[in-house]
Amino acid sequence: MSNRASSSNGVQVGDTAPDFTLPNQAGEPVRLGDYIGKKAVVLYFYPKDNTGGCTAEACAFRDSYEVFKDAGAEVIGVSSDSTESHEQFAAKNHLPFILLSDSGGAIRKLYKVPTTLGLLPGRVTYVIDRQGVVRHIFSSQMQFEQHVKEALKTLQSL
């Protein structure tokens, strides 16, 4: 599936997004590859459910979800929280999009999402086009809403 070997720096703009399957908040398997050819994907990795920054980011994605859908994209959040935690987080914050449980952190490692201060799981958003190519990467632990703005700006330029 990859048209370019991913570098030791992890997934870069221009790379084919590595495929994976993880359980969603209902415990059902979701495969990234199933979206290829159908929709663009905004794949965002975040540190933890029910923390201030992660809740602000998730709610910002929620508030723009219709705009993402209109742009032909699906939003998918990934953290190492359990499916039960995701289910509760999604219900509490009325999140209309998919949350995936990367309990062992294997997908975070596959994408080489950096940690902050070597401890905190990083907050990184990948915009993947319909062909499965990464078009934009935005990494910022503290600029929660900026992840949404960057993703929308990229989708609108595709």
Q: Which of 11, 17, 41, 54 is catalytic?
A: 54
> What's the one-letter identity of residue 128?
I
Q: Is the dihedral of CA 151, 153, 154, 155 positive or negative?
A: positive
Q: Count how many residues are written for the chain.
A: 158
Phi, psi of 29 (to 5 degrees): -70, 135
What's 55's DSSP letter? H
- The alpha carbon of residue 96 and the mean position of all alpha carbons in its chain are separated, in whole angstroms, by 14
Residue identified by tokens 């790379």 is 15
**Residue 54 catalytic?**
yes
Decide: helix, strand or coil at residue 127. strand
What are the residue numbers of the active site?
A: 54
